[in-house]
Chain A
């Protein structure tokens, strides 16, 4: 097995194009998937390229227009600790694994791994986050929601590397984030849900939701969201059943379907009832 350690992004993209070596950053997914047992080297089926050193992919910054740019090598700890990062992403990052994992795992890796239970894609999709995919020949932008096409499946080309995550400023008055883990810390997600609402002059200007661990990929439905968008707060209560039923139809959980569907429905209903009762702007869990 070949392992490459490029010193800069250009070199990395050249190697990627030539060898299709799989980029490895924190290794918290790939090393686990490749492990063979005690005293035995991990066995990778493809060449590997360790990209942890590439400074071009590091850091978190905010551009002049307010766009948040998270380098693909930003770790969960860095994201969780950065107040400029939108709340649901920060919260999701803070609940990933244990401290040692959060210090190592990267946002690029979490997206590329494309696990339906992955922590970061869910809030990223809520916020319509986009990825910049670089190759030696070109650069392209794609929404995270379009990048991940199924469980462990993405449209990443074999010459591309995820360079950064871009999130345009979002107007929101209310945020909701809830992860149900197998336990309270160091846990894999059983179910997660983010909601964003923007209330202005008594009108629900924007409403979005995003469901993790509820199917082969993160679930969102603009059609369902449109049921609520533009409605006066006073009318929300009468649309809760319609909305939650529409939302339920997009979910496709394999295991514990009843629990995942009912909990999602109850969390959505509960939040919408609060909203319809004039809940203060802020963060809800």
Chain B
């Protein structure tokens, strides 16, 4: 077989087994004597638990709750903070909070036990929205505080904003809002816990096996290595399986410590929608100073709804603030970020990780400023682009050549942007819109060096090579990407490189599969391992393990959030054309054109798939994916009332990949999985504004909300 070359177009290594139904997902695993578990969940958003009245438990059935956590253990799922409890104890803080776990041989009996348990609550006034949290409705949710600000930060550069506003020709203040978004990964959440020797083993659908291990071990006061996590083939995640699997694994582990039999818990679709993390809703106000046709300053107040527990929210908020000036060089700025505690299901990671909210807001704001100035939004935005060496909002610098002009030229030509922009005008039912965006690759600042210190390993056995890393395939194509990097560096066929799903007792910790870091960071470590292995190829069987090496010249101070927030950015430009049915407000997307700069595409087919999916997911976010929360309860709980786009909803996309090799990534590659989600929403809304002749401040915008926007304008 021929050696694989990095530019070969190859079939994904997991495609056949998944298409044939051979891939084994967690619900496909069965163990001798396996029991089934279901959660008893809070039905109140904020309440004290007065009593839990259990039905009579038949023989062989168990109820596991906080009381089952041993004395030396802690009732906490360690994520970034420790506030998220494994089991609610004494009170509940959101609808769906785990109170206990029923376990037994028959799923039907287990379910009837859940249904027949009566929990008596003393309800308290709950706090659901960002506005509720600002008003500290029902009193602070946070211990020892008198507000609901769970986390906060600010960034500033240039002059004091009061001075800047005095100097301006025009000051524009606008507020934007974005909604919840559900991940709708094809495979719902699920896990199985069992024992092997004196260790616990958890089979689980997840992005980050080492996160799960770290999160749950302290429940039983176990050393980390006594909990083994085996990632099962994972059918999609989008961030919804970054921290959330801990919420399944924790209670299961406690149950296992009492019951000592294999226990399985699989969420059905409604459970997975109603009782899982979501994208943070946001409310973002910009007050901007405009002078001589330029945006000279922004004062931004950025509020994210974090839900009841911190989870990853502070990091999400940081990324939101760091992306809040978009791809623009705005000389003066002050950006205040507030993560608000509420009684909703905790918000958590979702493709884009906080960046999409602020990028949407700044893009719409820029569009509105351009229109007020009488300039085509594309031209106004182009006049403000960041350039190499330009200062970021964290007083860091853009390290790469910014190629947005070339990228825009490509799609402007393909879409005939300027002609359509002129001809469609404003309020004619047709519109074309444009957006620009970026996404900082990998962990914030020096996190890769200071926090993660990723390791990855290659193991040679005869002529075969095995990849050992904690990074996971979740549908994004990483098993193919990493095999390709290893094979092409070693100059061997990809078929000779194996990459099993990670098992924490076998592989080194490569950090989470998140933050668009896998190709850029772990891919680079594997490339370095392969380079050494190639030189030593004749030595027989051996392994090469490497640690992440931080490139020089990226200063960062995590205490002040100053310096280079990211090691490099991916960049994007999108144009969307729409036509609206003025009778029904149904929007037809007539064309989608994007260009993305991701360093280098390791595999063009996979990158193309990511672009298609990310762009459609972003258009769904803007147009139809509406999830409302009433009194702490999500209103949309099935795939028929929370709809995501089908292939019928949007046309085929034109895509362009801009090469701009990145010196610290494998073969010049940067992160890209999130970038492709970050901007099509704003291009769509720009086009829609032009079509309806009214400004847009809020997404999602299904036809009934367009009706309201038209009426209120």
Q: Which residues of A contact B (CB under 8 A)?
A: 36-41, 178, 180, 182-188, 190-191, 256, 258-260, 262-263, 266-267, 270
In the bound complex, residues from chain B placing their C-beta under 8 Å from that of A190 are 703-704
Within 8 Å by CB of B584, from A184, A187, A263, lies: A263
Q: How many A-B residue pairs have CB under 8 A?
A: 72
Type the 1/0 row for B671-713, where 1 means its CB is closer than 8 Å to any CB of A.
Answer: 0000000000000000000000000000000111001100100
> Interface digits, B276-293 against A, CB 8 Å rule (1 contact, 0 not)?
000000000000000000
Contacts A38-B268, A263-B585, A267-B583 hold; do A183 and B704 have CB atoms under 8 A apart?
no
Task: Write the residues of chain B forming the contact surface with A, with a CB cutoff of 8 angstroms.
Answer: 27, 36, 38, 107-108, 111, 266-268, 271, 582-586, 624, 640-641, 643, 645-646, 648-649, 702-704, 707-708, 711
Partner of A184, one of B266, B267, B649: B649
Residue of A with least CB distance to B265: A38
B704 in contact with A259 (CB, 8 Å): yes
Report chain B residues within 8 Å CB of A266: 582-584
CA A169 to CA B180, docked complex, whole Å: 50
Nearest-CB distance from A104 to chain B (Å)?
A: 16
Question: Please, which residue of chain A has its CB at the minimum distance from the CB of B109?
Answer: A40
Bound-state CA distance A38–B624 (Å) is: 28
Would B707 and A259 count as touching, CB distance under 8 A?
yes
Name, among A38, A39, A41, the residue most crowded by chain B CB atoms within 10 Å (CB to CB): A38
* A262:B707 contact, CB within 8 angstroms: yes
Find out whether the CB atom of A183 lies under 8 angstroms from the CB atom of B708.
no
A88 smallest CB distance to B (angstroms): 17
Q: Give CA–CA (A258, B586) in the complex, Å.
A: 15
A263 lies within 8 A of B703 (CB): yes
With A and B bound together, what is the CA distance between A39 and B704 in angstroms?
A: 38
Q: State the CA gap A183–B642 with chains docked (Å).
A: 10
Is there an interface contact between B648 and A184, defined as CB atoms closer than 8 Å? Answer: yes
Contact call A270/B583, Cβ cutoff below 8 A: yes
- A-chain residues with CB within 8 Å of residue B646 when the two chains form the complex: 183-186
A6 CA / B267 CA spacing, docked (Å): 36
Q: A36-B108, A259-B704 in contact; A183/B645 too (CB < 8 A)?
A: yes
Chain B residues near A184 (CB, 8 Å)?
646, 648-649
User: Measured between C-beta atoms, what is the minimum distance from B623 to chain A in Å?
Assistant: 9
Q: How far is the CB of B634 from chain A (nearest CB, A)?
A: 16
Contacts of B708 in A (CB 8 A): 258-259
Q: A180-B586, A258-B707, A259-B703 are in contact. Are A40 and B648 (CB under 8 A)?
A: no
Q: Which single residue of chain A is at the shortest CB-CB distance from B582?
A: A266
Cβ of A187 and Cβ of B703 under 8 Å apart?
Answer: no
A40: B residues at CB distance < 8 A: 107-108, 111
B702 in contact with A39 (CB, 8 Å): no
CA distance A183 to B643 in the complex (A): 7
Distance, CA A272 to CA B38, complexed state (A) = 56
Q: How far is the CB of B536 from chain A (nearest CB, A)?
A: 49
- Residues from chain A with Cβ under 8 Å of B640 in the complex: 182, 188
Find out whether the CB atom of A182 lies under 8 angstroms from the CB atom of B107: no
Given the interface pairs A182-B624, A183-B624, the reply to whether A39 lies near B643 with Cβ below 8 Å is: no
User: Is the beta-carbon distance between B707 and A183 smaller than 8 angstroms?
Assistant: no
Shortest distance from the beta carbon of B622 to any chain A beta carbon, whole Å: 13
Shortest Cβ distance from residue B265 to the other chain A in the assembled complex, whole angstroms: 10
Residue numbers in B under 8 Å from A188 (CB-CB):
640-641
Tell me whether A187 and B268 are in contact (CB under 8 A). Answer: no
- Which residues of chain A are near B645, meaning CB under 8 Å? 183
A267 CA to B707 CA, complexed, in Å: 14
Distance in Å from the Cβ of B172 to the closest Cβ of chain A?
A: 29
* B704: chain A residues within 8 A (beta carbon): 190, 256, 258-260
B648→A185 contact, CB < 8 A:
yes
- CA of A270 to CA of B429, assembled, Å: 15
Which chain A positions have C-beta within 8 A of B108? 36, 39-41
* Nearest CB in chain A: distance from B644 CB, A: 8
For A39, give the chain B residue with the smallest CB separation.
Answer: B107
Q: State whether B111 touches A36 (Cβ < 8 A).
A: yes
Q: Judge whether A187 and B107 touch: CB under 8 Å.
A: no
Chain A residue with minimal CB distance to B190?
A38
B703 touches A185 (CB 8 A): no
Known: A180-B584, A263-B583. A38 touches B266 (CB 8 A): yes
Contact indicator A37/B643 (Cβ below 8 Å): no
Among B36, B641, B643, B703, the residue within 8 A (CB) of A180 is B703
- Chain B's closest residue to A187 (CB) is B643
